[in-house]
Structure formats: structure tokens, C-alpha cells
Amino acid sequence: MKEKPVLNTVLSPKLLDLYNIKDSIFVVIDVFRATSTMATALYNGAKKIIPVDNVSKCIEIGAKTGGITAGERDGKVIEGLQYGNSPAEYPRSFIEGKVLVLTTTNGTKLLHMALDKGASEVITGSFPNITAVCDYLIAQKRNVILGCSGWKDKFNLEDTLFAGAVIERVKEHFTIHCDASLMASEMYQKHEGDIKEYIKETTHWHRLSAFGLEKDLEYCVTNDVAPVLPFYKNSELIAK
């Protein structure tokens, strides 16, 4: 019998160097809110998303591509950009056919790191596209890294819960010897039934709800409301 592929969970971008990610499918996770917004915009017909790691690049590429420039700091649209980082800002009526140039605090950095460090394929994961992610991972039969973006490199619960949710769905298809995966899986099992309440305990909720973003955060832990699979290639995210 062929051995199962291996799955590991990385709890912070700072820990990425400890793992061999070559030839793996790398799932970038930034539940609040980058990867949830990315899935939503692509599901609603965005032509592509160009994730960039700073504001001046966002403006420059926005001008070059005619794309929408977007990014938030502290819950407000960044000066010089047009839109924010809320999935609610990107309904089909607005985003269809357009290019979105997006700068975010945590998720964008990990997208770049994953490719730089040799992942063979980089996709984004979030509750809004969880089934698309899991179906793909099971079908590919290749090693997987679940990469949590965290908050400024610190461990966070919402990305961990998503990693755990994925593991719960795919674990029979993978070899998993990884304490981070075991922990993520148990935390998800514990909170599967009360996730919309439980996220109110997280530090990220406290930070973002202070900006009135509660509805956003609840959306970001809702399964399969943006069933699409975003691939990151040539500095662009496109839906497959």
C-alpha cells in the first residue's frame, strides 16, 4: 500500500523555516480577514487579486493595471487607497471582472514566503471556501502544509481553528505526526458547535470588533459561502 502523504500545521510565519515545504501544497490561512476576503472577491467574479505587501506598491500596481486598490489599518481604509479589507465590500455587482490590488497585514506576507521557500503550489484557505480546499487536498494526494498567518507573527486562535477544521475533514487521507495539528484539531472539535460565540474570546475579535466589524468576523467563520479555490501564481491569485 502506498504511504499516505504528510500534513503539517505551521502556527506562525516565524516557524516556517522549521518545516520542509518543498513539493508541498501550501495553504495560506488568514481567517480575519485576508483569505476570507480573497475567496469572496474571487467567488464573486474578480478577474484576479494582486496581493502586495505595502501601500505604495498597491497604488503603483493599481495605476498600472487599472485595478481597485484596497487595504485597511485599524479598521479604516488606508489613505491613498480606495477600499478596505472587508469581504462585504466585494459583492458580485461591484467586483465582477475587476482586478483587486490588496495589501493586508499578515496574509500577504505568508503568500510571498510560501512561494519563496519552495512550496510547489500555494492556495488560500478560509471558512468561506473550506470545502473547496479540503476536496482539493484530498484529491491531490500530495504533502500539505497548513500555514497560519497569525497576528504579526503571533499565534492566533482563528487561523488555528481553521487548520483544525481542515484536519478534521481530511485526516484519514494523510499521515499526521505533528503536535500543532493535533492541538488544532482538538480545539476545532471543541468549538465546532459554538464557533460564532467562541471567536468573541479571541484577541483578534477584541481588536476588530472595536472598529464595528462584528458582522465581518461572523461571516469569516461561515462555511462555504464563497466556494472557490484561489491559486497564487506569478504574484496573482486566480480562481480555478
By the criterion CB under 8 A, which residues form the site for its own copies? 11-12, 14-15, 18, 152-157, 160, 177-180, 182-183, 186-187, 190, 201-204, 206
Find residue 25's DSSP bridge partners. 121, 144
Of residues 56 and 203, the one with the C-beta less far from its own copies: 203
Residue closer to its own copies by CB (options 22, 152) is 152
Q: CB of residue 199 vs its own copies: minimum separation in angstroms?
A: 11
CB of 163 to its own copies, least distance (A): 12
Structural contact between residues 103 and 53, judged by C-beta atoms closer than 8 angstroms = yes
Between 120 and 203, CB nearer to its own copies: 203
- Residue 203 vs 235, nearer CB to its own copies: 203
Residues 6+ apart with CB under 8 A from 113: 13, 16
**C-alpha 219, offset from chain centre:** 14
Long-range Cβ contacts of 188-195 (<8 Å, 24+ apart)? 188/161, 188/163, 188/164, 189/164, 191/161, 192/165, 192/168, 195/161, 195/221
Residue 185 Cβ, how far from its own copies at the closest point, in Å?
11
Nearer to its own copies, 10 or 100 (CB): 10
Distance in angstroms (rounded) separating the CA atoms of residues 226 and 41: 8
